[in-house]
Amino acid sequence: MKRSIALFVALVLVLLATFALAEQYTVGIGQFAEHGSLDNCRTGFIDGLAQEGIVEGQNLTVIYENAQADMGITQQIASQFAAKNVDLMVGIATPMAQACYNAADGKIPVIFNAVSDPVASGFVNADGINAGMITGVSDALPVAAQLATIRVMLPDAKRIGILYTTSETNSVSTIATYKSLCGEYGFEIEEMGISTSADIPLALDALLPKVDCLSNLTDNTVVQALALVLDKANTAKKPVFGSEIEQVKNGCIAAEGLDYVQLGKQCGIMAALVLKGEASAADIPYQIITEPSLYVNEAVLASFGITLNEELAVRAHAIQ
């Protein structure tokens, strides 16, 4: 009996000791702007870490800063992370990830989130090998799937209009993909570049009469003005296709989109490997989220009088 009590006490002590001695991690999360998809990346990331046993409040301290889309502040946030000597930096969206990678200076590992073109952003060399102590998950949009779905839903459509901000590299590279693929699905792409959200109303007035529908990218400026885009397009009776779930929730008709919570989660799992010292950020190959899901907004679908065919209906996630 005595022996078993002693054993039990010893066991408890060992458990307590491992708990107390368990490595404490500090992670700096920098987010470029405030909007649904990027917020999803962040929550997904923290979930991903938790799944690997690194839990906020227990053995993880998260320093979260948001640059509110101010370029002057991105660099300052990143240098503060470096000054606080965090164990790992996370940059959500391209400019923030670049600022982190610069401030980390090869001394602190960096995970990028929601970067559509990691090669053009300088994180990955042209041969697909990480440029330094940086890795992450890219959010290249499933353009082919989107075009196929639009073809099925709008059999007579010829021209797709895309509104994008000329300052966003993500949008520029996605439009290139759209243009190279649109022929296969019998579409033409009519693009319209803007430089600030103030240009959106005029740009839409010029664009809408020329197209049969709009397709949104993950362009930050356009997404932030989505209500206006939808308002103008609905008045013109042109459906707007989105690029992820949040946009469909807000009134886009449908989207072959990415799940940003899942993207964040994958990043969190990568980060856990790096924090535990199981792999270096320089060696973990970056990933691309490829598996699209179809989201449809039933109310909008009904208002345009469109019904999904069987193939789409089976895999569609309906959003009220």
Q: Which of residues 189-218 bind other proteins (CB under 8 A)?
A: 195
Q: Are 140 and 170 in contact (CB under 8 A)?
A: no
Residues in contact with other proteins, total (CB under 8 A)?
Answer: 38
**Closer CB to other proteins, residue 63 or residue 144?**
63
Residue 111 or 150: the one with the smaller Cβ distance to other proteins is 111
What span, in angstroms and rounded, lies between the C-alpha atoms of 131 and 181?
29
Residue 98 CB neighbour total at 10 angstroms: 22
Least separation in angstroms between residue 71's CB and other proteins is 4
Q: Which residues, in sequence order, are bridge partners of residue 61?
A: 26
**Residue 31 interacting with other proteins (CB under 8 A):** yes
Question: Does 259 engage in binding with other proteins (CB under 8 A)?
Answer: no
What's the min distance (Å) between Cβ of 177 and other proteins? Answer: 15
* Single residue of 40, 98, 243, 266 touching other proteins by CB under 8 A: 98
134 token code pair: 């940086």
Q: Any contact of residue 112 with other proteins (CB under 8 A)?
A: no
Q: Select from 189, 236, 237, 238 the least CA-distant residue to 217.
A: 189
- Looking at 26, 52, 56, 131, which residue binds other proteins (CB under 8 A)? 131
Q: HEC profile for 186-249?
A: CCEEEEEEECCHHHHHHHHHHHHHHCCEEECCCCHHHHHCHHHHHHHHHHCCCCEECCEHHHHH
Tell me how far apart the alpha carbons of residues 60 and 224 are, in angstroms, rounded to a whole number.
Answer: 32
What does the alpha-carbon distance between residue 217 and residue 215 come to, in Å, rounded to a whole number?
7
Closest distance between other proteins and the C-beta of residue 198, in Å? 11
DSSP label of 182: G
Stretch that binds other proteins, among 68-76, 249-257, 281-289, 305-313 (CB under 8 A): 68-76
| 101 near other proteins, rule: CB under 8 A | yes
Tell whether residue 138 is a contact of other proteins (CB under 8 A): no
Q: Is 94 in the site for other proteins (CB under 8 A)?
A: yes
Amino acid making up residue 184: E
Closest distance to other proteins from the beta carbon of 75 (Å): 5
Q: Which residues of 246-260 are buried (b: 16+ CB within 10 A; e: fewer)?
A: bbbebbbbbbbbbbb
Rg of the chain taking only CA atoms, in angstroms: 23
Smallest distance, other proteins to C-beta of residue 53, A: 25
Of the pair 72, 277, the CB lying nearest other proteins is at 72
78 burial level (CB within 10 Å; 0-12, 13-18, 19+): buried
Binding pattern for the stretch 39-58 against other proteins, x by CB under 8 A and - elsewhere: --------------------
With CB under 8 A as the contact rule, the residue among 10, 12, 71, 302 that binds other proteins is 71
Q: How many CB atoms are closer than 10 A to CB 89?
A: 30
- For other proteins, what does the binding mask look like between residues 144 and 183, x meaning CB under 8 A? ----------------------xxxx--x-----------
Q: How far is the CB of 96 from other proteins (least distance, A)?
A: 11
Residue from 47, 52, 65, 191 binding other proteins (CB under 8 A):
65
Q: Which residues bind other proteins (CB under 8 A)?
A: 31, 34, 63-66, 68, 70-73, 75-77, 79-80, 82-85, 94-95, 98-99, 101-102, 120-123, 131-132, 166-169, 172, 195
